[in-house]
Structure 1
Amino acid sequence: MAGPSRMTSLSIHKLWRHCALLACLLLASPTWAAEILLTAAEDSDGVHAFTQALAQQRPEDHVTFTPLKDLPAPGRVPASTRLILLDLASLDWRLQDNMGPPTLVLRISRLQAHERPGAAQHPRVSLLWSDPPLERQLRLIASILPRARRIGVLYGTESEFLLPELRQHAEPLDMTIVPQRWDTISDSRPLQNLFRNSDVLLGLDDPQLYNPKTAKNLLLSSYAQQLPLVGPNAGFVRAGSLASTYSDQADWLAVLDRLLDRAPANWPRSLYPDHFKVVGNPQVARSLGIEQFDEANVAARLAEGEKRP
């Protein structure tokens, strides 16, 4: 009786060793590789550089770029693909069909989505916002301009829908939104009226109001009135506004990496990147008599505040 018992014990031991080895192999290597397809209407060096950066970040996956003109209808793209759209033309193409693969729309503004109601309603599309979150911009103002209470906001027909959300975020910060409609950009009277009633001007990401044609008038008026302009984006800070939050390519890659690790069924319908930076214009700060601030330190404080319940 001892012989068979010992043989059984040895067999069980070998079986456990095989199971342990199999478990180690499964843990050491990915169980599957995702097919990740990026597309855009423009086939540029920047697009290829971004695709290559994502491929280097996810070596287990198959990451490729195909120009939009070379793709079939969305419903004919394999459903197992994870699709990443890099421009508005590719989004318009995707919205033609409710079928097709799960899709991440990279760097689309709230205003652009508002002009395309189908984008937010599409069952297989997730929108990754490009414009800075309104609450984050208000908290940036509170951090670098703690005495500012009256937040002047220029708005137009396209951006008016953002005002209720702005007021909602401003109230807990003890701020008041001072809105001013600006329909005719050649007319400076709305600007002067807003400046007289505001402590700071918060720029919305509305290209009808903030663009190369309006920048000179806006920034010169801001200097003349000694009223700082915050936002609407990093580009405007370089042109002469005081500061803004923004997300760069490294931040977007971090967001994509996190989302692509999830099952598409768990992707959010829309998302602001939680990775971001702060950019300031020291020359503008000096000209307005504002104490200079450490960009990295301010960004860290803002990020910490967003992690709190």
Structure 2
Amino acid sequence: MWAFCLSAFAQEEAAGRTVFLAGSGNGALDQHLTGLLQSQMGEGVNLRPITDDQIPMIGEEPVITIGPSAFSRIRQANRNVPILAMLVDRSFLDAFADRSPGRVSGILYDVPLIRQALTGKAILPHATRIALLATADSVELYEPLIDKLPAYGMSARIFLVESSDKLIPTLVRALGYGDFLLAAPDSAIYNPRTIKHILLTAYRRNRIVIGPTQAYVKAGSLASSYAPFPEMVQLASQFLDTYFETGEFPPPSYPEQFRVEINRQVARSLNIPLPSREDIAARVDRQLTVNGEAADE
């Protein structure tokens, strides 16, 4: 059986490049990304779903993983597999990429916090102070942001949430400090169980919430930047080209283009005039370019 499978792989190699795909388990999401990837990579690439019994056999063929669970499944089954991760955050991927440079990389899914902060400032031009909620485990997420903010005329303060029952009291203190609340992808604080209470508390005090993701805008955050799937897929294709040419992936990176999702109903409730999504994104891009951040996100 092993010889047969290896022979099949060799035949596919002769026909073109082989790339394996480990899905997230969400059928609609996996199908959508697979279609985008195949369209972007063209007919010269054989994009194949991978099964558990195939993972130990993989040698140099790269594997695209969708989401952290798929990445962990592949990594645990075969630590030598070259992996290009999609839909993962920098905080999840960086340690793996540092241990296996060139063999593990990814198209980062989270939005750089400096971009989120500037999204808030594009909506509230006079904002100068940002409130941040963190736990002891997540406080380091914000340190690079705090160092960058003075260049944009802003500052931030971290309010430490010591336990779940202190979330709202800590939030109230944070809202008294900041012109808006900036949410990071910190599931200990921002999750389906807490987000309604956070949003209601913020809006009762006439404060907006920016982030943490596009999905939370639908739940009631005022705005969030996000990377469109076509942009992520285009960068993934470029990473694969580099891998096939050099045998190594570039380091994990964010897509170059971001868009902005906004909640106009929330804006109307708070009497906040909103620019268009395109105008907000353009303002953020200009600020990042002027300060030399765009390439470093």
TM-score of the superposed pair, with normalisation by structure 1: 0.80
Given candidates 253, 256, 279, the residue that maps to 2:261 is: 279
Given candidates 224, 235, 257, the residue that maps to 2:204 is: 224
CA distance in 2, matches of 1:239, 1:153: 19
Deviation per CA, 1:122-144: give whole Å up to 9, x if none. Answer: 23101322111111112212222
Larger RCO of the pair (alpha carbons < 8 Å, separation 6+): 2
Query: 1:1-309 to 2 correspondence within 5 Å?
Result: 33-40=16-23, 42=25, 44-73=27-56, 76-79=57-60, 81-96=61-76, 97-100=78-81, 102-113=82-93, 117-123=95-101, 124-187=103-166, 188-262=168-242, 263=245, 265=247, 267-307=249-289, 309=292
Q: Which amino acid aligns with 1:64?
A: L
CA distance in 1, matches of 2:144, 2:199: 26
The 3 A distance-change label for structure 1 pair 280 and 264 is farther
Q: Which amino acid aligns with 1:279?
A: E
CA contact (8 A) 2:217 2:263 kept: yes
Q: Which amino acid aligns with 1:173?
A: Y
The 3 A distance-change label for structure 1 pair 152 and 249 is same
- Larger CA Rg, structure 1 vs 2: 1
Q: Which amino acid aligns with 1:249?
A: F
Q: Which amino acid aligns with 2:228?
A: D
Q: Following superposition, which runs of at least 4 residues in structure 1 exceed 3 angstroms of deviation? A: 93-98, 117-120, 263-267, 303-309
Where structure 1 has 5 or more consecutive residues not aligned to the other structure, the ranges are: 1-31
Q: Which amino acid aligns with 1:121?
A: R
CA distance in 2, matches of 1:237, 1:164: 24
CA contact (8 A) 1:40 1:85 kept: yes
CA distance in 2, matches of 1:43, 1:146: 39
Q: Which amino acid aligns with 1:189?
A: P
CA contact (8 A) 1:40 1:90 kept: yes
CA distance in 2, matches of 1:222, 1:298: 22
Deviation per CA, 1:137-180: give whole Å up to 9, x if none. Answer: 12212222111111000011332111211111212112111101
Q: CA deviation at 1:56?
A: 2.0
Match of 1:4 in 2: none
Deviation per CA, 1:99-122: give whole Å up to 9, x if none. Answer: 33x3211111133336xx334322
Percent of residue pairs identical: 27
Question: Residue 244 of structure 1 aligns to a residue in which SS?
Answer: strand
CA distance in 2, matches of 1:95, 1:119: 12
CA contact (8 A) 2:55 2:74 kept: no
Q: CA deviation at 1:270?
A: 1.5
More displaced stretch, 122-131 vs 196-205: 122-131
More displaced stretch, 90-99 vs 127-136: 90-99
CA distance in 2, matches of 1:43, 1:163: 31
Q: Which amino acid aligns with 1:164?
A: E
